[in-house]
A and B are shown apart, each in its own frame.
Chain A
Amino acid sequence: MTAISHHISDETLQDYAAGTLNHELEVVIACHLTLCPACRSRSAMAEAFGGAELSGCTPSPTTTSAADLLNRLDDAADSYSTEPPESTKPVVSGDGINQVPMPLQRLLPTTLDKLEWKRLAPGIKQHNLSDRHRKEGAFKLLNLSPGVVLSKHTHHDRELTLVLQGSYQDEIGRFKAGDIADFGDDVMHQPVVDTDKPCIALIATMSPVRYSGMFGRIIQPFVGI
C-alpha cells in the first residue's frame, strides 16, 4: 500500500467514536482504519475522549449491586460462562485472497474481481450494497472506466468515499487506493478517472447526493462519488 494522503476528518472520527453514525458509514470508516495506522491512532484518542467523559460524569443511582449481579450469574450457572460466538467468516467463492478490508468483504458475495456490476451510464457501473430506498442514502461500490468525468456536484450532508482500486482526481487532489474523501456540502467538485485503470470506490451517505448539470440530474439517483 502506497502512503495514504487523504484521511478521515476529526469530526467524523469523533462521531464514529461516539457511536452516532449509521452502519454504512461505519463500514467505510472501518475499511480506511484497517489500511491507515495514523487514523487508527487518532481514533483511539477520540475513544479516550469518551472514556474521559464517562469517568468525569456524575453517576446515577442504580438498583442493582455488584453482589446481586454476581449472584445472578451463579444462579444462571453455565449460560454466562462462555463468550458469544464470533461472527462467522464469510464464504468467499474466489481464490480466498482478500482484496478489500474485511468489514467490506463480509458484505460481498465474492471477491472484488469477480463481482457483478450493473451498468448505469457509459463508463459507470455500480454494485449496490443497500436495500434501502435511495432517499435514505446510498451505500454502494462504483466502478468508473478510465477517462470518465462525473458532473460537478456537492455532497449533501454526510458522504464518505473510499478508493479501493485505481484513482481519480478532482479540485481537492488525487485520490488513490486507501484514500478517503470526507467532505461536507461546502465542497463542489468534479472527479475525473486519471489513469488507464478503472477506479473502484466504496461510497456511503446519510442522504442523497445533489448534482448540478443535466447529466448529473439523470445519473443523480445512482452515482455518488
Chain B
Amino acid sequence: MLNVKSPKTKQSADEKTDREHKLHLGRQLVAVGLHRDRQAFTEVYDYYAGRVKSFLLGKGMNEDTAEELMQEIMLIVWRRAESYDPSKAAASTWIFTIARNRRIDYLRGNSRIEVELDDELLESETPERDQAQLVLDAQNAKRLEQAIEALPIEQRQVLHLSYFRGKSHGAIAAWLDLPVGTVKSRIRLATQSVRAQLIDTDRDDIL
C-alpha cells in the first residue's frame, strides 16, 4: 500500500553520495538555465522523469496519460530552468511544484491560483516574532528529507497520502477510517517536528 523506505536501509556513505548527487543535479539545473546545457538536462531528466511519472501514477492517472504529461512537465523544466533559484528551493521542490501545477491544469482546466510576485499589496516585512526563518535552499534539502524519514510511520503515511495520492486531510481521514482531528494533529506534529529539527540544525551550524 505504501512505498515508504526504511530509514535504516542505506549506508551513510550511500547517503552522502545521494546527497552529493542531488546537489549536483541542482547545479545541473542551473546550467540548463544558463547555457541550455543538454548533457546537464539529460542528468536531471534521468533522475526526475521516472519520479515525476510515479507522482502522476500515484494520483490515479493511467500509464499513457502519465507518460505524456511527464514529458510536458520535463519540457517545462527545460524551458523554465533559468527561473530556478537554488537559494530559494531544492531542485526536487521546484520540479514538484511544476508537476503539481501541470497536473492541476490538466485535470481542472484552469490554473492553480498562487501569490503574484508583482502584486502591489505583497507584504514582505516579516513580523519580529517570526524572524526565525527557515532556509529551504538546495543545501538544506537533505536535512529536510532526513527529518521526514525520522518521523513516526503514521505521520509519514499522512504526508505520503497527501502529496503522492492527492488526498486532502479530510479524504485521508475517511480513507484511513480515522477522525479528522487525528489526521490534523498528525500533520501538525509532522510540520512542527521537521521545522524544529531544521531550526536546531541551523543553530548547530552557527555554534
- The residues of A with any CB-CB pair to B shorter than 8 Å are 1, 3-4, 9-11, 14-15, 17-21, 23, 26-27, 29-30, 33-38, 40-42, 44-67, 69-70, 73, 80, 83, 87, 97-98, 100-103, 157-158, 184, 186
Contact = CB atoms under 8 A, between A and B. Distances in A.
B166 A51 contact: no
Contact of A103 (B51, B97, B116, B187): B116
A163 to B, nearest CB: 14
Given A54-B52, A70-B41, A45 B136 contact: yes
Contacts of A44: 88-89, 134, 136
A33 B144 CA distance: 23
Contacts of A61: 50
B16 interface: no
B13 interface: no
Contacts of A60: 50-51, 53-54, 57, 66
B42 A55 contact: no
B183 A11 contact: yes
Given A15-B169, A19-B100, A70-B38, A55 B22 contact: yes
A68 to B, nearest CB: 9
Given A41-B133, A54-B55, A103-B116, A34 B93 contact: no
Given A10-B188, A19-B112, A48-B89, A69 B74 contact: yes
Contacts, number: 229
A51 B123 contact: no
Interface string B118-131: 01111111110010
Interface in B44-70: 45-55, 57-58, 66-67, 70
Contacts of A57: 3, 51, 54-55, 58, 164
A23 B96 contact: no
Contacts of A66: 38, 41-42, 45-46, 49, 74
10 contacts: A34-B122, A49-B159, A53-B148, A53-B159, A53-B163, A54-B163, A59-B53, A65-B45, A101-B121, A184-B180
Contacts of A98: 119-121
B22 A69 contact: no
Given A34-B119, A73-B75, A15 B168 contact: yes
A42 B188 CA distance: 12
Given A20-B162, A37-B124, A50-B93, A45 B74 contact: no
Given A37-B123, A52-B145, A87-B111, A20 B167 contact: yes
Contact of B92 (A55, A65, A157): A55
Contacts of B46: 66
B152 interface: no
Given A51-B94, A57-B55, A26 B119 contact: no
A37 B125 contact: yes
Contacts of A62: 49-50, 53, 67, 70
A47 B93 contact: yes
Given A18-B166, A66-B45, A52 B78 contact: no
Given A14-B169, A37-B124, A51-B94, A45 B191 contact: yes
A67 B123 contact: no
B184 interface: yes
A49 B67 contact: no
A64 B67 contact: yes
Contacts of B11: none
B9 interface: no
B130 to A, nearest CB: 4
A50 B104 CA distance: 15
A3 B123 CA distance: 11
